[in-house]
Structure 1
Amino acid sequence: MAAHRKPKQARRNPFAVRPAARTATTLALAGAATATAFNGTAAADPVLTPAQIKARVDQLYQEAEAATEAYNGAKDRTDRAREELDRLRDETARRTERLNASRSVLGAVAGAQYRAGAVDPAIRFALDSDPDGCLERAAIDRLVGRRTAAAVMDVRGQLAAVDGLRDRAGRQFEDLRERRDELARRKTEVRRKLATAEGMLKRLEATEPGAGTGAGAGTGPGAASGPGAPGRGDGRAGAVADAAGATAPTPRAARAVAYAYGALGKPYVWGATGPASYDCSGLTQAAWRAAGVSLPRTTYTQIGAGRRVARSELAPGDLVFFYPGVTHVGMYVGGGRMIHAPRPGGVVRFARVDEMPFAGAVRPA
């Protein structure tokens, strides 16, 4: 009888978890914990204080300035590549025309030889009634043939070289265009961040009037201080009084400073070089161009375009640079002040040199 009994089954513990179930439970708990963490983070986003919002806006202004200067540099290199490509195309066309002319000459010589019956030179010499003339003509034919062939080979070689240069220039142009497009996308992203941050700042100002201006407004390129603050006029009177005792070291520097004064109140626009609007390096480039000095396009190249001067030696016309990445520039006008194009939404105005982290200064030739 015992042989026909069912095997005794182990009593199942209702609280025990089978391996598969244990794995599923672990994953479920992990997912729940992760979701809770994310939800908790989203729910626990700190409310930014006015000072934190202003600091964030200042940081975004710096990022925007850096992106603009990088974009300006890429655009400048792209423009030069396009000019070089056009030059190479023109040179290729000229050399191709010369090659075609050489081919025409060669074809005429070949046709003349064909019409002469392509007779063996020895037979022609034997049958010619003027043997001396025949020898002379043969020598000339050989000389012309050699020179024509050499000319054709030379032009072909030049054309091949130009084709190679044109191909390289084309590849360079494509590369620069891709970089420019990427920088444009970066600039768009920074603009979006700026719009978000400035929207926050406007909402803050709506609830706390005056929160976005005054001494606590930050130290970025768009910071407002002194007579040149946005909404308070362009600050000419106060700044001129501050700089009254300063003298430009050269007539050219004086002309550059005069140009900068004439730009006061004009809007900041991405990539603009005047005369209706400017970005920071566009203003300094235009001012010194009016004085007869050609400066590079960007802040990080302009800082190498002149003699370095110490902060204690600043004179009107000197270029003053800011931030560790050398992403902002203004023109010193004396009295501890500069004229600069601050940021999108701002205008060319006066500012104190100590408003931003000083990175260096140069005096253009």
Structure 2
Amino acid sequence: MASHRRPKQPGQRFTGVLTVTAAAAVAMSTQSASADPLPDPNKKGVQAQIDRLYESATQATEKYNGAKEKAEGLQKQVKVFQEEAARKQGELNGLRERLGTVAAGQYRSGGLDPSLQLLLSQDPDSYLERAAALDRVGDRQSALLTEFLSRQRSLQQQRREATAKLRDLDSTRQELGRRKTEIQGKLREAQRLLNTLTARERARIAAEEDRANRAGARVELGDETGASPRAAAAFSAAQSRVGLPYVWGATGPNSFDCSGLTSWAFRQAGISLPRTSQAQAGAGTRINSLGDLRPGDLIIMRTDLSHVGFYAGNGQILHSPKPGAQVRYESIARSGMPFMWGVRIG
């Protein structure tokens, strides 16, 4: 039976993380727990509301991650389109200079061909699209003009595509801002609800979360065989992150959200996964039964596929579960999230 201990991590890695423990510590520093009244039975649902807000925030985080991944992809596409447009503009300028040289020679010899005159004075499309017009110029001029028109049309198409991608990028960035505001609003509301509790109640919540983190840093995983060498390498990388904090939108190496942990771990094994849990749900071979999972397989949780972790063996999931928590092992049965299916990578 294998035993896994939480690795020792520098304290500064936890800076800036919204944790229930920190909130409780602040509350207890300003109010004596011994002075608290008895727990108010009307507040027993506050913890459930906070948990729902944290769950909702993690779901919104996956949508934020998807929008961010899309924005990054669009930014790369826009750059390619703009660079290609610049290259084509350079080629077009070169052709224009060659046509200008031909026109200058004709002018000096006593006349300027009508087709070149039109080209140099206005948009030649309407003129050049009529094949009959090309019999007014020689073969060399005809080929040059035809190439110019083709390059001009290609450049115009490139610019239209770049403009469309820029509009899409702007829309996606606006969505990113909305998702970020949504997540921050849910976390603020969770903190507000937490502040309505007494110091004693906050201390109890903090103690429970601390126990969960400590218990999740050391578990018996059994001796099940890994799913594949690469999955085993990714799982090992994730194990090295036990004890590090959940931060929405984080992809490591010192903080993670759920899909941030799995995508980071597989990168260490040389495999690129999609960024979101929903996309990771379709990234490999689906395993429908919990009994068929092997250590290193991905576990997809919740009906909207908004949570992902690693199957760790012995009925355990290794994951970054929620705000205020750390990367930890947890019983799948007691995680509070329905299992949808597993995914085998590699």
| TM-score normalized with structure 1 length | 0.72
Q: 1:297 aligns with which of 275, 278, 296?
A: 275
Task: Tell me by how many angstroms 1:146 deviates.
Answer: 0.7
Task: Tell me by how many angstroms 1:60 deviates.
Answer: 0.9
Q: How does 1:2-81 map to 2 (within 5 A)?
A: 49=42, 51-81=44-74
Q: 1:155 aligns with which of 131, 151, 155?
A: 151
SS of 1:243 mapped into structure 2: strand
Where does the alignment leave 5 or more consecutive residues of structure 2 unmatched? 1-39, 114-134
Q: How does 1:1-365 map to 2 (within 5 A)?
A: 49=42, 51-118=44-111, 142-200=138-196, 203-204=197-198, 206-207=200-201, 210=204, 213-214=207-208, 229-230=212-213, 232=214, 235-236=217-218, 239=219, 242-309=220-287, 310-354=289-333, 355-356=335-336, 357-365=338-346
Between 1:309-318 and 1:339-348, the stretch displaced more is 339-348
SS of 2:300 mapped into structure 1: strand
Task: Tell me by how many angstroms 1:204 deviates.
Answer: 4.1
Pair 211,288 (structure 1): closer, same or farther in 2 beyond 3 Å: closer
Pair 147,60 (structure 1): closer, same or farther in 2 beyond 3 Å: same
2:6 match: none
Larger RCO (CA under 8 A, 6+ residues apart):
2
Aligned AA for 2:250? A
SS of 2:330 mapped into structure 1: strand
Task: Supply the distance in 2 between the matched residues of 1:96 and 1:118 (Cα, whole angstroms).
Answer: 29
Contact 1:62 1:327 in 2 (8 A): no
Task: Tell me by how many angstroms 1:208 deviates.
Answer: 7.8
Superposed CA offset, 1:277-319 (max 9, x none): 1111000011112122221111111111111111111110111
Task: Tell me by how many angstroms 1:80 deviates.
Answer: 0.8
Pair 282,119 (structure 1): closer, same or farther in 2 beyond 3 Å: closer
Task: Supply the distance in 2 between the matched residues of 1:73 and 1:208 (Cα, whole angstroms).
Answer: 34
Aligned AA for 1:235? A
CA RMSD of aligned residues (A): 2.2
Identity %: 33
Superposed CA offset, 1:94-132 (max 9, x none): 000000000000000111111112299xxxxxxxxxxxx
Pair 296,119 (structure 1): closer, same or farther in 2 beyond 3 Å: closer
Pair 193,278 (structure 1): closer, same or farther in 2 beyond 3 Å: same
Pair 105,335 (structure 1): closer, same or farther in 2 beyond 3 Å: same
SS of 2:238 mapped into structure 1: helix
